[in-house]
Structures are given as structure tokens and as C-alpha cells.
Amino acid sequence: MNSSLIALEICVLALGTVLMLADFWMPAERKKFLAYFAAVALAGLFIAGFSGSSFCNTFGTAFNGAFVEDALALFFKRFFLVAAILVLFLTAEFSDKLAGGVAEFYSLIIFALSGMLFAASANDFAMLFVSIELITVTFYVLTSFQRGRLGSLEAGVKYLIIGALSSAFMVFGIALILGTTGKMNFTELAQVAPQYAGNKLFLTGVLFLLAGLGFKISIVPFQIWTPDVYQGAPTPTTAFLAVGSKAAGFVLLLRFLFAAIPTVTHQWMNVLIVIAGVTILFGNLCAIPQRNLKRLLGYSSIAHAGYLMLGVAALSATGQSALMYYLAGYLFTVVAAFTVIALVMRHLDNEDIASLAGLNQRSPILASTLTLAMVSLAGVPPLAGFFGKFLLLKAVIQQAQATGNHGYYCLVFTALAGVLISFYYYFGVIRAIYWSREAKDLSPIPLSGAAKLSIGACIAGMLWLGIFPNTILEVANEASKALGL
């Protein structure tokens, strides 16, 4: 086994341990800065990946094929590193509201990150389950971290119960698949899966496993926890949940559907179409009446899970690379939005949209950042959200023409309806920033240098992806080839 394959994961785990140990010796008032240390260390690992050395650049498999390092894994690992760095910056801004040890919070983020890194490489049911649990269990703690806030505890309990339920489904599904086929490894399963394509027990197992993954990415009908948890959890947790946890669910979904059971996936074309369509409509329609900004983003995150499912339902390499591109744009957009929420609503108990009133005068930078984020989520050029939706729609229409399945055309128009509905509530947020009358508090919002840096990075990311999509699209195309469709 080539040990350099998991060098990145080992480094990240070591970093998490160092942070936990630092908690003992670090004076309390300096602990906030551990976040910057961790972020710099992760940035170092990220850059080392591009240095051309063998460090997280060698492709191959380890642990008897349970762990695979390929272009797809590499794409998602880089994605997770960037997400964690931005979330750490966000956490540092938020640290004074975290009652329990801050350093603990940082190390939990790092551990969740390591779970995501393993998920990106999982090629085996055991690895899939372990990485999912590593992510989910750390998120139980991260969600209920503000022990003094009832909302946070409530969110934690909800996430725990539904998360445990979905894990149970997943284990049961894995057991059924293993019981019928006798295979744990995706590559081996792919060879025998076609003969089981009509086996009811096997298909039930697949369905249960999809239910478990559906919970991670919050698609209908497994989305019910999302708004509550998004609203109650501490803002940095919500951001990481929206970006990291969702992307981890998607990479596992892609690998499972397209590397392990491609024949079954093609049989289930219509199921995927319906799930994508219903998810888009549900998320967008429910977001309309929301007054709480985090809850609104919770519903919008369901809607975006639906858009991302377009890329899965398209059953093609174009769809997959569109999905990856969309996730990359979504990363910067969502983190930007949550960073602004964390900064603006630092001293408020609820994140009511009305409290954005006068933000334009209080901090023009934050106002324009949130505006750009909303505009990008709505899918307006020249930001990343537009090109992402363009690619996803193109992939679906392409598949519609290739298969002649009218369901795909219906899906396209459903997605359009979703985009239209979303204009209403995204522009509602922009309206609250710029032209609401009753602004009570007009005190300027101080911004630390680090906050400016991370906001600047998010804006640059949104614009760069939107205006120069070529680079990232090439990488995503390369990554989708790893799935061999």
C-alpha cells in the first residue's frame, strides 16, 4: 500500500489533535487565533497539493480497494479544504458567542473535515459508513454547541434523532446489499450488480442506502430536518453543514450510483427525475414565507440540493461535471452569505430579515457581499450561480434529447419555475438591505482584517467562477471521467 495516498488525511487528523492539545496550554483570550493557525495550516496543505510533488497527487487505491484516490476524490478534497478554511475564518468572527471551549469547536471542524476527506475517497461500504458517521457525529456536537441557547439544543436533538434514524437505514441497506451480493467494494459490486438488477431484496437495500444519503444532502422526502437545524445551529456550523456535509453526501452519492450500481441507476431514471423536481419545488415554495434569514437559507439549500440533483438525474458525464461546478460556486456563495449573517446578527437573538434594514448604511461592504451572494444564488450573470444553472440545464436537455424521455422536459420547466420563485425571496432579502424604511440601529459594523480577507475571497471566488469558468470546468470534466460514464 502506498502510504502517501492518505497523507492528507493523516495531516488533517494530526492538526485536529494539535488543536485539542493546544486547548490545554493556550491562554483563553488567545484561543480565538487558533482558528487562523488552523486555516493557515490547511491552506498550506491545499497549496502543497499543487506543488507537483507526490503529496496528494498520486492516484491509486489503498486498504484493499476501500480507499481510492482519483481525480474525483482530488476535486472534492480540494473543495473541502477551501470550505474548511473559509468556515474557520467565519468561526473566528463568531468565537465570542461560543460558550464552550473555542478550541474544541475548531478541532471538531477539523475532524468533520477529515471525515469529508475520507468520504471523497470512499470506495467501499465500510469506508462510506465510517466517513459518514465521522461527519455526522461531529455535527451533532457542532450543532448543539451553544449549550446556553435553547434553539441550538433543539437543533442538536433534532439532528441527532433524524441523523441516527438515517444511519440506521443506511446500515440496514448496506446489510441487504452485502447479504444479496456478498460484495462490500464498489468496484467489485459494479461487476455483479447487473445480475441483481431485478432482485427485490437488493433493490430495497439500494433504496435504504439512498435514504441515508438523501438525509445528508437534504432532498425530498428526507429534507424535514434542514430548516430547523439551519436556524438553530451556530452560524459557522450551519455554513459548514450547508457546504461541506452536503458536498460529502453528493460525492458518496455519485460514487455509489455511478461507480457501484450504474445499471440500477439507469433503471431508476424516473425516480431521480421526480426527486429532483419535487425537491426544487418544495425548497423554493417553502422559502417564500420565511422571515428568518437562516431558515430561508435552509429552504434555499433544499432547493439547491434539487438543482444539484439535476446533475445526477442527467445520468451523464456532463451532468456530473455541471454538478461539481455548481457545488464550487455554491461554496463561495453560501459561505459569503453566512459570514455576513454572522457579522451582522452577532448581537441579535433571532436572524430576522428585517434586521438587515439599513445594512447599506451600516456597512456597504457587507451589504454588497450579501447582495452578490443572493444574486448568485438566484442565478444571475456574471456570477457563478448563473453558469452553474446553465450547465445543469444544458445537461438535462441534452439527456432529454438523447433519451426522448419527456420527464426530462418536465424537469427543465420545473427547474425554471423554481428559479422564478426563488427570484421573489432572494430579491426580498436585497430589498430588506436597500430599501426598507424602519432601520432602528444604524451603528457601523466593525470588520476585522481577517473577515475582510475571507469576504474578499468569497467575492473573488463567485466572480472568478462566473467570468472564467474554464479552469474549474476542465478540472470537473476530468473528475467526472473517474466515474467512467
431 or 452: CB nearest other proteins: 431
* Min dist. Cβ of residue 412 to other proteins (A): 6
- Gyration radius of the chain's alpha carbons: 21
7 or 445: CB nearest other proteins: 445
* Min dist. Cβ of residue 329 to other proteins (A): 14
Q: C-alpha grid cell for residue 438?
A: 424602519
CB atoms within 10 A of CB 16: 21
Whether 267 and 199 have beta carbons less than 8 Å apart is answered as no
25 or 435: CB nearest other proteins: 435
d(CA 211, CA 249): 11
The position carrying cell 468569497 is 458
Q: Torsions phi, psi of 140, nearest 5?
A: -55, -45
210 or 412: CB nearest other proteins: 412
Q: C-alpha grid cell for residue 189?
A: 459490486
* Min dist. Cβ of residue 342 to other proteins (A): 24
d(CA 401, CA 159): 41
Q: Return the SS3 of 288.
A: coil
d(CA 84, CA 86): 5
Q: Return the SS3 of 448.
A: coil
* Min dist. Cβ of residue 382 to other proteins (A): 6
Q: Where do contacts with other proteins occur on this chain (CB under 8 A)? A: 364, 375, 380-382, 386, 390, 393-394, 397-398, 401, 412-413, 416, 419-420, 423-424, 427, 430-431, 434-435, 469-470, 473-474, 477
Q: Return the SS3 of 437.
A: coil
The position carrying cell 481510492 is 68
* Min dist. Cβ of residue 313 to other proteins (A): 16
37 or 390: CB nearest other proteins: 390
CB atoms within 10 A of CB 191: 11
* Min dist. Cβ of residue 70 to other proteins (A): 20
344 or 383: CB nearest other proteins: 383
172 or 390: CB nearest other proteins: 390
Q: C-alpha grid cell for residue 185?
A: 467494494
CA angle at 111 for the pair 105 and 113, rounded to the nearest 5°: 105
* Min dist. Cβ of residue 287 to other proteins (A): 15
